[in-house]
Chains A and B, each alone.
Chain A
Amino acid sequence: MTLTPTLRRWWPAAALLLATTVCFALGGVLDNGTLDLGVTLLCYLAIAQAWNILAGFGGLVSLGSAAFVATGGYAAALLLVHTGLSWPLAVAAAPVAAMLLALLLSAALLRLRGDYFSIGTLAIAIALQALIRNWDWAGGASGVTLPVDAVPSGGNLYQIAVLVAALAMALTLYARHSAFGLRLAAIRDNEPAAAGLGVAVRRHQLAALLPAGAITGLAGAVIAFQFVVISPDSVASVSWSLNAVLMAVVGGMGTVLGPLLGVAVVYYGLTRELQSQQTLSLVIEGILLIAIVRFAPQGVWPLLCRATRRLLGPRPGSGRPAADSGKETETAPPGTEPLAVDLA
């Protein structure tokens, strides 16, 4: 089957729409345990994908996801507890607060190059955690308890999580396929050259930082609703930054579907299997991160794509014409990794 240009262009969006609809509809069917698991996975996906937009496409390797999770979570929680607003307004406030934080910090952060950006974001995450600990109005070190009847739970919370994750996926698709995304990647690959060609570097980086922060903040609000009791050690923990990096890097940073795979691999392969053994889990996560950057720096998803292509594509020397499934390879320019590029 050969895809027409229009179809080729729009099928990722159509697939996302379909997947979102199916996942959303499942909210009325699944049992509570599965829904809770779904919320966890979808929040991880949103945070990893936000990190991916910033680091994978924008080249800004952040270690500060936790700061935005905490800002979103605390913004929603404090509004509910102190003002008695309804939860939709609290959810809406989370990305606004996270974006304000991003905007506030961007003046300093976007002046930093390369590794300095990473250290700066790490410092912000730690500073914010320490600030919340000392902030009595926000519950200090012991945290805040959300009013249980005022927050959505079960199927409703799951459906919110589906929408948040879908938004993250949609933005990643946009970053992958739009002219904006190309300019962003140009800055990532060679900033002076991109600037020389007239790309407004700061403005593009800010345009990646703000939505990434907003999505992470939204996920933070969902996480706060799921946890009900939030504290600096839960929503502001550095482990949120770690998981974002780990999941996206393991799956494949700079690809659309890599983080999806990364969330599944890391969560099912590690976090859940080793829930009773926190230490061992941390050991394996550390080793995995090192092994991936050492031996498969592109991540698992591009590797899988290449393996699939080799299996499906024509074998050298076999003399047989390409099989039907090999068609996709032919349309791609030589020297690239067609499947990885098409799907990624």
Chain B
Amino acid sequence: MSLDVLAAGILAGGLYALIGLGISLVFGVLGLMNLAHGELVIGGAYLASLLVVDAGWDPLAALPLAMAAMALIAYPLQRYLLTPLLRGSKSAPLVATFGLSLLAQALFQAAFGTHPKALPASYADTGLSVLGMRVQTVYVIAFGLTIVLCAATHLVLTRTRAGSAVRAASADPDTAAVLGIDVNRVYAMTFAGAAALAAAGGVLTGVAQSFTPNSGLPLLLTGFAVMALAGIGSVGGVLMAGVALGVLQSVSVGLFGGGWRDVVVYLAFFLVLAVRPQGLFRKAHAG
């Protein structure tokens, strides 16, 4: 076991944190388990591929556009489909997002085909030396961007009026509504924000590895694993949980071989659920 493996794990963990952050945000504020989050991630990668593969853009230039586009798609989805369902039966929103996830997979298949795609970039395969450790350049970029996006999310939630509205709606939607906060709009904005974070994760994932219409599900479960480890409500916790998961995965691949990378994550996820479901999942205020 060399330090390179450890470094690769830490850096890959940044991507997991980015995916987990969106899931955690949506669950913390809306109380919604979004089973279509993996498709939001892959959707971001496919949207970017339109610019990168077909028009020759750099993936990092396409990234803000993909984020904005996913947010625009996500906003009405939450406002007019999912928010009304949140007041219905307990399982309805979950089943609806399951349906959305299938629908999105089918649309990806129809629009882009089933063969694996990747976002070509000059830094996709090159290596870099950091403190004497060899790592892939793309993961360094992804890690840096994750830190920036996590910090931005934290600042928006804690330092802005919109962030206060989100935290108020999360803590007590009824009281927030009485105080003049448009809770439905806050929900839709939060979902759009989570979708934008997902799209960013998708573009970076697409540069680091190839993706297919069905790649969303493993990413979704990785995101849930991050949330399970971190608990709800702390951006820093999400970042640490992502890194922990990345290291665990990287080390287990080093020990058992590549086929086990996902198995280990799912088993870790399940063990965390089994050992401390209440403690890790206690709903706190977002931010």
| Interface of A toward B, CB cutoff 8 Å | 55, 59, 61, 63, 107-108, 111-116, 118-120, 122-124, 126-127, 130-131, 133-134, 238, 242, 245, 249, 278-280, 282-283, 285-290, 293-294, 297
A17 to B107, CA, bound (A): 44
Among A63, A108, A131, contact of B98 (Cβ-Cβ < 8 Å): A63
A119 to B266, CA, bound (A): 11
Assess A290 versus B81: contact at CB under 8 Å? Given A63-B98, A122-B221. Answer: yes
Residues of A within 8 A of B263 (CB): 127, 130-131, 134
Residues of A within 8 A of B101 (CB): 286
Residues of A within 8 A of B95 (CB): 61, 245, 249, 289, 293
Is B109 within 8 A of A289, CB to CB? no
Residues of B within 8 A of A113 (CB): 277
A120 to B270, CA, bound (A): 7
A116 to B104, CA, bound (A): 23
Say yes or no: is B156 at the interface (Cβ < 8 Å to chain A): no
A134 to B35, CA, bound (A): 26
A47 to B84, CA, bound (A): 30
Residues of B within 8 A of A115 (CB): 33, 94
- Segment of B54-62, B85-93, B144-152, B165-173 engaged in the interface with chain A: B85-93
Say yes or no: is B250 at the interface (Cβ < 8 Å to chain A): no
Is A114 within 8 A of B90, CB to CB? yes
Say yes or no: is B217 at the interface (Cβ < 8 Å to chain A): yes
Assess A286 versus B99: contact at CB under 8 Å? Given A108-B274, A134-B260, A134-B263. Answer: yes
Among B98, B266, B274, contact of A127 (Cβ-Cβ < 8 Å): B266
A195 to B93, CA, bound (A): 26
Assess A290 versus B260: contact at CB under 8 Å? Given A61-B94, A124-B270, A282-B109. Answer: no
A63 to B88, CA, bound (A): 20
Say yes or no: is B162 at the interface (Cβ < 8 Å to chain A): no
Say yes or no: is B191 at the interface (Cβ < 8 Å to chain A): no
A61 to B94, CA, bound (A): 9
A329 to B88, CA, bound (A): 28
Residues of A within 8 A of B104 (CB): 286
Among A55, A120, A280, A282, contact of B105 (Cβ-Cβ < 8 Å): A282
Least Cβ–Cβ distance between A55 and chain B, in angstroms: 7
Among B89, B94, B281, contact of A297 (Cβ-Cβ < 8 Å): B89
Is B262 within 8 A of A55, CB to CB? no
Residues of B within 8 A of A120 (CB): 270, 273
Is B103 within 8 A of A283, CB to CB? yes
Least Cβ–Cβ distance between A206 and chain B, in angstroms: 15
Is A238 within 8 A of B106, CB to CB? no
Residues of B within 8 A of A116 (CB): 273, 277, 281
Among B96, B107, B218, B259, contact of A294 (Cβ-Cβ < 8 Å): B96
A288 to B98, CA, bound (A): 11
Say yes or no: is B143 at the interface (Cβ < 8 Å to chain A): no
Would you give 13 A-B contacts (Cβ < 8 Å), ordered by A?
A111-B278, A112-B277, A119-B224, A123-B221, A124-B266, A127-B270, A280-B106, A283-B103, A286-B106, A289-B95, A289-B102, A297-B88, A297-B89
Is B266 within 8 A of A126, CB to CB? yes
A181 to B94, CA, bound (A): 24
> Which chain B residues (208-230) contact chain A, with CB distance < 8 Å?
217-218, 221, 224-225
Chain A residue nearest to B227 in the complex (CB)? A119
Residues of B within 8 A of A59 (CB): 90
Say yes or no: is B50 at the interface (Cβ < 8 Å to chain A): no
Is B100 within 8 A of A290, CB to CB? yes
A237 to B29, CA, bound (A): 32
A242 to B35, CA, bound (A): 12
Residues of A within 8 A of B96 (CB): 289-290, 293-294
